[in-house]
Structure 1
Amino acid sequence: MRHSPFPRSSILVYGQDTVHSLVQLTVISQVEALLENNHIEDAANLVNNFASVQALDSDEVETLEYIHQAIAFSLFSQTRFVDAAPHFLAGGLDPRILVSYFPELSRPLFIDGEEADMYDGIAKRMPIEANVDDLIAANLVRNYSPHLPPSTREAHAAQEIHKILREEAIVMLKSVLQGFKGQGKHKQQEVTDTALAILFARSGDTTSLISHLESTNLASLSAVEPVLLEAGEVGALCALLRARGDEGRVMEIWKGWVEGRYSDSSVSDPLSNMFALLESKQGKDRAMLRKWGVWLTARDSERGLMLLMSTKRSAKEKDREEDLAILSELQQLHSSAARKFLEWLVIVRRRDDAELHAQLVQACVDELFECLQNECTLKLWRAKFASYTSQSSQKNTPSLPSTQLQRPQSSFLTYFVSTAPDSQSKRARLKTLFALQALSGYNAEMIKSQIVANGFDKVLGLEVALLDGKMGMHRMALRALALTLRDPVSAETYARTGGIVVPLKAVEACGMGEWGALFAAKGSPGILEREKSSEGKGELVRMLLEVYMEDGEPQQTTRLLGSQAASLDAVDVIPLVPPDWPLSSLSPLLTHSFRHTLHAKHEGQIIKGICAAQNSKVFESSYLVFREQGAIIEEVDDEEDGDGEPESFDEKDGLAEKIALHLQDQQRSEVGVADIHPPASNEEEVNVR
């Protein structure tokens, strides 16, 4: 049977109108009596004895909480803050009541009219002062006035005592709130977590602050954030925001950190933290990467570009517009990074956009001009040009016989790549050459005028020749390559491919794989459409031949006739040869022409014999078929002319011959027999060595 919590009595005194009972005082009554007489230690001992006697039921637990709160507020009223802390914890006081005595904590947390539950008898034990500072001041007046001149509030000793007691009150509040952490209703937990965060921040206890914020807590962000920023605990605030999943706000704070608006010695490299956070968002939050990628690139171009370039993109119009927007922002913030991003869009992403192509070409040309502003670079490239042309002139000795023609030296591009030291200027020139060759949509005339206006037309002779070809001025381009630059390899490549100065093999030899992949994907960029037609075939080769002949280059002409004889017609070439040139200079062309004629004749004879054999086979097989069908087949007597013979009216007469002729025409069309013009006599022979 459960007993009543009220005291029991075995002595009753009956009166005429009343009944009196002699009972023992309750614990609450005893404690309150002790507190009234300021025997707080005795009251605390009494409570400890009461709690240790037996297991307590719910009513007794509430009684115990009430007593602890009463003792705690009695100690609190006397500014014995450290002694009051364990009683506040044991009494289960609503933390909002204790926090309300600290205005720096209560103002951002409580709203007007907010209430908290408490026992009725506790209110009279609470101090009448509104806050802890007033409470300390009142106790100083009671205990030390008038012993501290000139006044209790102004005396230095009183101020020191006030400071010490204020620190003790903060220590008490921390210990009580840490004991209440994770307990109570949602609002109580929010107040506890927020007050603790503010106290740790203002005391400079960064370790405890970060540990508190990284754990599960309900701290009010609006109340904590300004305090943390003011205290310089930016790292702790970022830890709280990341725990809440507000990574966008984290990036904003780190941005202010990098720009100097915030500071915190606990984090040494906020920029690296931003990169690490964005890298973790790869493939998950593209909008966040887009928002911060450009800003980070302006601070660290290498890592920022890697971040932007690693973002997955498609060929959709939306992605194209986004790429253009990023490029535009980079051009305003960081021109060098914008140039690299533009190159990535065109070379790696293969954005087939005329505007982007024109921008990349202009960017490469501008970078090349910047390199040529360096006097050392300009002198070096001039020396390379002079050295190459002088070597070429020495090799082109007209006195050499045709049987001793030397193999032409490497192209100027190959020579430049192999002899020039690796540098930024060298790579800039190669990129410019590749861009001019592979890309389209730019204004070649404008680029050439810029080169000429800056006085670099002689140093950049290869680039000028390439631009002439882009503008359709092929004779001028061939003259520049063959005579000015003395580069027969590039000149023949240009003539053979229909306008290409930089072939794919040369790009691959330079070790610039991305550009080589672009050249391979575009399929020999720069080939003229008219060169693909049969009537345009060999036109540029003949034009190069004319250039050599106009300049009086017999050795180069002879070599060209030998290497490109298949693209030339002897009938067109012979009238161009000057009368004073030796016949040996035409030997390669004539040899090839005679061999080609003889080859065509023999090929025609072989095809004619094959067709005749096929026709005979078809005729023999059809002969039996016609005979079985009842056809009358008459053999013509070769000795008779047919005069006087009666005309045959057989409807099948001549059918076999028609079929044979039809099959013969089909065979010829399939084999593709060309017109053959054999010599007048079959007994004529062509002696070819």
Structure 2
Amino acid sequence: MASTFPRSHVLILGPNSVQSLLPVTPISQAETLLDDHRIEDVLQLADQQRKKVQSKLVIDASEAEELAYVYQRVGFQCLLETRFEDAGFCLFQGELDPRILISYFPDLRGALLDAHPTLDVFAGVAECMPPYDSMDDLIVANIVWNYSPFLAPTTRSAPPTAKLRRALGIAAHDMLEEFLRKWRRVRSDSSTPAVRAIIDTVLAKLFARGEKTTDLYALLDESDLVVLPEVEPVFRATSQYSALCKMYSKRGDDAALLETWSKLVEGEWTDPEISDPLSDMFALLTARRDRALTQQWGVWLAGKDTERALKLLTAHGSAKRGQKPEDEAATLHQIRAVNPEAGVRFLEHLLLQKRRTDPALHTELVLTYIDEVLSFLADDATSKLWRAKAASYASSPNPTPFLTYFEATTPASPAKHARLRTALFLQTSAAYDAAAAQARLAPHASLLAPELAIIAGKLGYAQEALSLLALTVHDHASAAAFCTSHGAVVPPRAVAQLAERAGLTAWAGPPALVPTASPTPDSPAESAQTQRLLRLLLTIYTSGSPATAPHSSSPAAATAAPTAAEIAAANLLASHAPSFDAPAVLSTLPPRWPLRALSPYLVRTLRTAAHTAHERALNLAVADVAHAQLRAAGALFEEAADEGDEDGGGEELMLDEKAALASSHAPTVEIGKTGADATADVVVGSWMSGRSSITNAPVSDGDTLR
């Protein structure tokens, strides 16, 4: 301790010595009073000295140090006697290093003082410091010293002293808390960051254990020096999870923050300060856009909130940008293990949004859809409803396809949604295993014939598909569309319309799912395929029609109402008359097929034949007139010259432009005349009241009507 000797104003001169009468110093006075255990007098002396020092304009450093020494000396004496309130006051006034006081609390100091093995203390104070490793040992020693041997069995374990021990321990912690509060408020600016970190960390522990949540939050908001590894176990032990989340958030430890929230969501931890940890997790992951964190926690969240988890996983920044197919497959497997429904939704995202073409994934989704439809079909109410819809559709002619009718007349339900979704995906996807899907649906052919027809078309089984549509479902519109749209039960335009009405636009078929484009409708291959399918459909109608059986020649039989097969075949013939060859059709139809069923077809066929004949006549007449005009204009028609003429051996042809121009003013020739002397007139058709006729005038020799 740096100090100066006191000045003496009285000297005594002796024969062999010089003596001085020195004034009594505060330190000596305090030591004397403490030896007599007069603590109150020492406190009074220290208070007087403090007022004296503070009254001066300029504080003397030596006097301040003497005052600090006295306060520390009496403070530790009070600490030994477990007078914690007085001890805390004196030690603070003595400007004791807070780390020294913290060292007596091993449960609070943790590893904070490992970097501070030695601290500076007044020499006289160090000798009087309590020789204990912890405040609990000091309290126990004080109890034993004051009460032994009056309590049984031992002073340490007796119930009364145990209660006193707990009370004194609480008082000691309160003393430390008050000391650190005042130090942080008054002397924090003069402390180093390392010391402030120790003080803030110990205070955070005290606040957490004392359930002083408001003070704890204020401390964490103000200070960035709290040592997280030190307070983390304390916060968990005291259920201060909100404070823990504050620290994780301030330090940017997103992984630990998500881990804490997940335990709160699971119910393993509870904290009323965190009302909706699940939403907090979604908000953090959405804001961070960290692919690794999203991959890790998005799968877990799928088991808690499917909708928001899939939105998170399928966001552009987390699931689409640069993710490899194998990673997507792994994610799908993990999601399916947590939540099968979410797994299906994620699989739909991969196939319908990201347009993956992996056949295994397509097959998996198709079979999942089919299993869902079959699960609904197991319900009696659903099964009866679908049977009624099929019977109602088949009982009366209906120009709309069955799936369109089903969508329009069936009440909204999950079963309806599942069936339409399945049918659309079966039609639009070209990558699934159609044979596996067919095997799964085959036992339910009576109710799911439209779906089986779609699969048969995918497999190239045109006759099976058309038989299901025409004879089982009685969906003649879809059967005709199958013939004219490359074997598709639901053509692309119908797919789009059905998906829009059913709210299934995502299943309308993106380009990655649509099969490779077939030849254009005008190509010979396309025309031949369409004609082949139409003739196959006609054969199915005729072979399954009751008209194939012998009919009675009675008037009643002649006037009987046409059967559904007759009507369907007649409509098919009338709608696609150009695709059928009349002689072949007449030879194919049963002998007793009613004429009324053939009338529309025959009328359209004859009209088409007449139109073709008229068109040929027009073309021939135009060609003859053009030929006559060119002849009259003097044009020459020559064949290609031989190779020998290319050398110039032939005579050069001279054309007279003026003669040609003069001849161009010659009288024109009427259409239908082959020359000036022609007597043939060609009347090229008249269409009246839906009928056509050809009138032929006399034709001169050499003229023919083609």
Instruction: Give the TM-score of the pair, scaled to structure 1.
Output: 0.80
Could you tell me which amino acid in structure 1 is paired with residue 131 of structure 2?
I
* Among candidates 543, 547, 550, match of residue 550 of structure 1: 543
The one of 466, 471, 477 aligned to 1:478: 466
- Deviation, 1:314, is 7.6
Determine the C-alpha separation between the residues in 2 that align with 1:42 and 1:514.
88
Q: Distance in 2 between matches of 1:520 and 1:15?
A: 122
Q: For residues 649 and 107 of structure 1, what CA distance do their matches in structure 2 show?
A: 120
**Residue of structure 1 equivalent to 2:439:** 449
Say if 2:24 is the partner of 1:25: yes
- 2:469 is paired with a residue whose SS is helix
How far the C-alpha of 1:278 sits from its partner, in A, is 1.9
> Could you list the per-position Cα deviations for residues 618-644 of structure 1 after superposition, in whole angstroms to 9, with x for gaps in the alignment?
x99xx9xxxxxxxxxxx99xxxxxxxx
Q: Which runs of 5+ in 1 are unaligned?
A: 393-407, 624-634, 637-647, 661-680
Which residue does 1:488 correspond to in 2?
Answer: 476
Q: Which residue of 2 aligns with 1:65?
A: 68
The answer to whether structure 1 residue 87 and structure 2 residue 101 are counterparts is no
Query: What letter matches 1:353 in structure 2?
Result: D
Read off the aligned partner of 1:495 and give its amino acid letter: C
Structure 2: tracts of 5 or more residues without a match? 546-564, 638-647, 661-679, 692-706
Q: Tell me if structure 1 keeps the 8 A contact 2:424–2:495.
A: no
After superposition, what is the alpha-carbon deviation per residue over 1:368-425, rounded to whole angstroms, capped at 9, x for unaligned? Answer: 1111121211111111111111123xxxxxxxxxxxxxxx432211111111111111
Counterpart Cα distance in 2 of 1:686 and 1:546: 35
Q: Where does residue 51 of structure 2 map in the other structure?
A: 49
Q: Which residue of 2 aligns with 1:643?
A: none
Q: 1:524 Cα shift?
A: 9.7
Partner of 1:429: 419
Structure 1 residues 598 and 221: alpha-carbon distance in aligned structure 2, compared to 1, 3 A threshold: same
The 8 Å contact of residues 35 and 43 in structure 1, kept in 2 or not, is answered as: no
Match of 2:210 in 1: 203
Question: Are residues 381 and 257 of structure 1, via their aligned partners in 2, closer, same or farther at CA, if it must alter by over 3 Å?
Answer: same
Aligned to 1:403: none
Could you say which residue in structure 2 is the equivalent of 1:76? 79
CA change 1:29–1:531 in 2 (3 A) is: same
- Contact between 2:469 and 2:476, CA under 8 Å: does it hold in 1? yes
Partner of 1:185: 192
**Letter of the structure 1 residue corresponding to residue 541 of structure 2:** Y
Contact 1:448 1:467 in 2 (8 A): yes
Whether 1:439 and 2:405 are equivalent positions in the alignment is no
2:407 counterpart (410, 413, 417): 417
Question: Secondary structure at 2:107's aligned position in 1?
Answer: helix
Within the alignment, does 1:390 sit opposite 2:374 as a pair? no
1:587 is matched with: 602
Cα 1:462–1:570, aligned 2, differ >3 Å: closer, same or farther? same
Asked whether the 8 Å contact 2:301–2:309 carries over to 1, the reply is yes
SS at match of 2:489: coil
Distance 1:444 1:155, change over 3 A: closer
Corresponding position of 2:682: 683
Q: Matched residues in 2 for 1:13 and 1:103: separation?
A: 55
Shift of 1:458: 0.5
**Structure 2 counterpart of 1:653, one-letter code:** L
Q: Which residue of 2 aligns with 1:505?
A: 494
Of 489-498 and 213-222, deviating more is 213-222
Tell me by how many angstroms 1:350 deviates.
Answer: 1.9
**1:601 aligned to which of 584, 603, 616:** 616
Q: Distance in 2 between matches of 1:524 and 1:318?
A: 21
Contact 1:364 1:432 in 2 (8 A): yes
How far residue 76 of structure 1 moved from its aligned partner, in angstroms, is 1.5
- Asked whether the 8 Å contact 2:147–2:155 carries over to 1, the reply is yes
2:294 paired residue among 289, 301, 312: 289
Query: With structure 2 as the length reference, what TM-score do the two structures score?
Result: 0.78
**1:569-604 Cα distance to aligned partner (Å, 9 max, x none):** 546545434444425242343145236515743774
**What residue identity is the alignment partner of 2:567?**
Q
Other-structure match for 2:446: 458
- Of the three residues 249, 256, 266, the one matched with 1:249 is 256
Amino acid at match of 1:481: L
**Which one-letter code corresponds to 2:604 in the other structure?**
L
In the alignment, the residues of structure 1 paired with residue 214 and residue 483 of structure 2 have an alpha-carbon distance, to the nearest angstrom, of 75
Give the match's secondary structure for 1:377: helix
**Aligned equivalents of 1:334, 1:230: Cα separation in 2:** 33
Counterparts of 1:602 and 1:153, CA distance in 2: 130
Equivalent runs, 1:103-502 vs 2, <5 Å: 103-111=106-114, 114-145=117-148, 152-181=155-184, 184-281=191-288, 283=289, 285-312=290-317, 318-392=323-397, 408-452=398-442, 455-502=443-490
SS in 1 for 2:682: coil
The Cα of 1:325 is off from its aligned counterpart by 1.4
Displacement of 1:431: 1.0
**2:566 counterpart letter in structure 1:** P
Task: State the 1:250 CA deviation.
Answer: 1.9
Change in 2 beyond 3 A, CA 1:685/1:558: farther
Corresponding position: 1:576 with 2:588: yes
Number of matched pairs: 620
Q: Larger deviation: 602-611 or 570-579? A: 602-611
Whether contact under 8 Å (1:530, 1:536) holds in the other structure is: yes
Equivalent residue, structure 1, for 2:518:
529
Per-residue CA distance 1:78-112 (angstroms, 9 max, x = gap): 21111222333333322221112123223444449
> Structure 1 CA distance, aligned partners of 2:69 and 2:457?
100
Contact kept, 8 Å, 2:201 with 2:230, in 1: the verdict is: yes
> Separation in 1 of the partners of 2:66 and 2:579?
114
Q: Give the whole-Å Cα distance in 1 for the aligned partners of 2:317 and 2:606.
A: 59
In the alignment, is the contact (CA less than 8 A) between 1:101 and 1:132 conserved in 2? yes
The 8 Å contact of residues 359 and 433 in structure 2, kept in 1 or not, is answered as no
CA contact (8 A) 2:235 2:241 kept: yes
Change (3 A) 1:523 1:180: closer
8 A contact 1:330–1:337 mirrored in 2: yes
- Structure 1 contact 348–514 (Cα < 8 Å) conserved: no
Provide the rounded CA distance (Å) in 2 between the counterparts of 1:546 and 1:133.
103
CA distance in 2, matches of 1:615, 1:292: 86
Check conservation: 1:507, 1:516, Cα contact below 8 A. Answer: yes
- Does 1:560 find its partner at 2:572? yes
Q: Which moved more, 1:352-361 or 1:382-391?
A: 352-361
> Could you tell me which residue of structure 1 aligns to residue 669 of structure 2?
none
Shift of 1:480: 1.4
- Give 1:352 shift: 2.8
Aligned-partner Cα distance in 2 for 1:287–1:557: 62
- The CA distance in 1 between the partners of 2:308 and 2:375, in whole Å, is 25
The change in CA–CA distance for 1:81 and 1:316 in structure 2 (over 3 A counts) is closer
Residues 310, 346 of structure 2: 8 Å contact kept? yes
Give the letter aligned to residue 451 of structure 1: L
Asked if structure 1 preserves the Cα contact closer than 8 Å seen for 2:302 and 2:342, the reply is yes
Q: Secondary structure at the match of 2:444?
A: coil
Amino acid in structure 1 at the alignment position of 2:599 = S
Provide, for residues 234-292 of structure 1, a one-character-per-residue CA deviation record: whole Å limited to 9, x for no partner.
332222222222120122233334445434454354333323322332x3x12111110
Q: Distance in 2 between matches of 1:58 and 1:456?
A: 102
Once residues 656 and 454 of structure 2 are traced to their aligned partners in structure 1, the CA distance between those partners, rounded to angstroms, is 63
Aligned residue for 2:96, secondary structure, equals: coil
| More deviation, 357-366/573-582 | 573-582
Equivalent-residue separation in structure 2 for 1:577 and 1:600 (angstroms): 30
* RMSD over equivalenced CA pairs, Å: 3.6
Question: Could you say if the C-alpha distance between residues 360 and 157 of structure 1 is closer, same or farther in structure 2, counting changes exceeding 3 Å?
Answer: closer
Report SS of the residue matched to 1:280: helix
For 2:441, give the aligned amino acid: I
Does residue 653 in structure 1 map to residue 658 in structure 2? no
Q: Which among 23, 39, 42 is matched to residue 40 of structure 1?
A: 42
Compared CA separation, residues 278 and 18, structure 1 to 2 (3 A)? farther
String of CA shifts for 1:495-531, please: whole Å, max 9, x gaps.
1212222233354344468853553643994577367
